[in-house]
Amino acid sequence: MIPPDTHLQIGSLLFEGLDQIDLTGPFEILSRMPNSTYRLYGKTTDTVRDIRGLRLAADALLADAPQLDVLHVPGGYGQEMLMEDEEVLSWVRRQAAGAKCVLSVCTGALICGAAGLLKGRRATTHWSAFELLPIFGAIPVNQRVVADGNMVFAAGVTAGIDGGLRVAADLRGAEAAQTIQLYMQYAPEPPFNAGTPETAPASVVSTARKNARAITEQRRETAQRVAQRLGL
């Protein structure tokens, strides 16, 4: 826990083609952490679109970010392009080196991997990319939230809310995190137990894996190319 009178700089990476819930789920928590400043950072301050077309805009450029105490790296289909974008990767690498906490959500873990941050770490990511984690030297753990050192990994999409609450509790205490959770009225009761490949009906899993096959193979090829350059 960080002393409450210590101000926290919190920032999220924004990019074209991210999944907005990877961003906005944790945003609901991180932006409400006591005595903190939250901002979005990107390669551009122009509007970008998430994978379903939602328009979003960064508050500032990557180069204008101070040293962040909390770095939040979301995922989404646009993540694949960033795995070979050295401007973004060097920024992530530099910020992670000085951050008190790095929160990776969904396939944001692959961006962290391409930045060389996963070697030897326990990590998780979206089920469709879970098998790619060892390419970057990670130890895959099939849990909704996994913590290793100063890094917190949330699995797919909505797991970012749980990851955000974990970060809030670690840095500001359990009561602060619970106060935020209560404000959000975050007490999920989904109508179906289909949120993981282990619990969803076989036919649903089959369809979902088929739908994700193309992007998964594209990610695999990129991950292998990047990992080779990293010497992993």
For residues 125 and 182, give the distance between their C-alpha atoms in angstroms, rounded to a whole number.
26
For residues 21 and 35, give the distance between their C-alpha atoms in angstroms, rounded to a whole number.
24
Give Cα 43 distance to the centre of its chain: 17
The upper half-sphere exposure of residue 103, i.e. CA atoms within 13 Å in the direction of its Cβ, equals 36
Q: Which of 227, 221, 204 is nearest to 80 (CA)?
A: 221
- Would you tell me the crossing angle of helices 174-184 and 20-30 to the nearest 10 degrees? 120
Per the residue annotation, which of 23, 106, 132, 161 is the catalytic one? 106
Q: Which of 156, 142, 154, 139 is nearest to 216 (CA)?
A: 156
Is 112 in the active site? no
Q: Which residues of 163-192 are buried (b: 16+ CB within 10 A; e: fewer)?
A: bbbbbbbbbbeeebbeebbeeeeeeeeeee
Give the catalytic positions in this structure. 106
